[in-house]
Amino acid sequence: MSGLDHIPNGVRGAHPVPATTASDSAGQAAAAAVEQPVLANPQRMPSIYLGHGAPPLLEDPLWMGELGGWAASMPRPSQILIVSAHWQTAPMALSATRPVPLVYDFYGFPQHYYEMTYDAPGAPDLAASIKGLMPATEPVMEREPRGLDHGAWVPLKAMYPDADIPVLQMSMPDLDPEHLFEVGRRLAPLRDEGVLIVGSGFMTHGLPYVHEYMMGRPGAPQWSRDFDAWVTEALNRGDLDSLFAFREKAPGMPYAHPTVEHFAPLFVTLGAAAKADERPDYAIEGFFYGLSKRSFQAH
């Protein structure tokens, strides 16, 4: 079994949660209006996009060093808001704000990965802030039973192993680049309150097409290199319109993303940037089983 996450899209809904009613939503909005966040660190944070991998990432010294070094290079966040490829539900939803078990949404791995924990504090104040930042047309639901999925807790365990920073996960309401950019734009003020906004996916994620690389072939397939290079160039020149149209414009499609949920969190990251059209800083580059793990922080 490879170290990559290989979660079929069909299992995304394998962790059912109760529906939230419209009256719940109204109550949440009222609560959001009166609650004020208590923030320990007002230092401005970047917004970041990262490749998250599966739990074996935690035994990959190179990747661990890259993620840990990146975290150490940034100011310490007051709280963390993470949008993972592995949670798409509409309306937009927020994960538990109280301790609940992690979501072990990966299959066929050794047992010890299913016993890992990441007991970060909940972030009820951050949840209230997010509800206050969204317009009436963007309802935000609470999913209190929903823990962090592996797209959230695996990279955070690498970056902030002490699990002492409050974490909240937010779902993607859809996979529309421009909508997700707008969601990110709404979230941007949180950065000034010390919140680290994380889009968690994978720069190329053509899992059906990297079997040889999982079996040990070095390097990366051309479609993975082409897509990675194209996105990098588009990011460097601030070409948001091309990025929004990546399905049609990017070389390497559809092989790089036969489904696009691992690329989509990038648009939340860019939306949350103060200067989305400014060249980002690339914290991690290179390929893992033929897939680009390029990760960056936006300004």
- Contact set with Fe ion (CB under 5 A): 5, 85
Judged by beta carbon, residue 66 or residue 105, the one nearer Fe ion is 105
Judged by beta carbon, residue 32 or residue 154, the one nearer Fe ion is 154
- Give me the sign of the Cα torsion angle 72, 116, 153, 163: negative
Least distance between Fe ion and beta carbon 172 (Å)? 13
Judged by beta carbon, residue 52 or residue 131, the one nearer Fe ion is 52
Least distance between Fe ion and beta carbon 139 (Å)? 26
Other beta carbons less than 10 A from residue 137's beta carbon: 6
Closest residue to Fe ion using C-beta atoms: 5
Least distance between Fe ion and beta carbon 1 (Å)? 15
Judged by beta carbon, residue 85 or residue 93, the one nearer Fe ion is 85
Length, in residues, of the chain: 299
The token pair at 238 is 């601030």
Least distance between Fe ion and beta carbon 6 (Å)? 8
Give the whole-angstrom CA distance, residue 82 versus residue 255.
26
Q: What's phi and psi for 163, nearest 5 deg?
A: 50, 40
Least distance between Fe ion and beta carbon 57 (Å)? 10
Least distance between Fe ion and beta carbon 125 (Å)? 28
Judged by beta carbon, residue 143 or residue 293, the one nearer Fe ion is 293
Judged by beta carbon, residue 5 or residue 142, the one nearer Fe ion is 5
Determine contact, residues 150/32, Cβ cutoff 8 Å: no
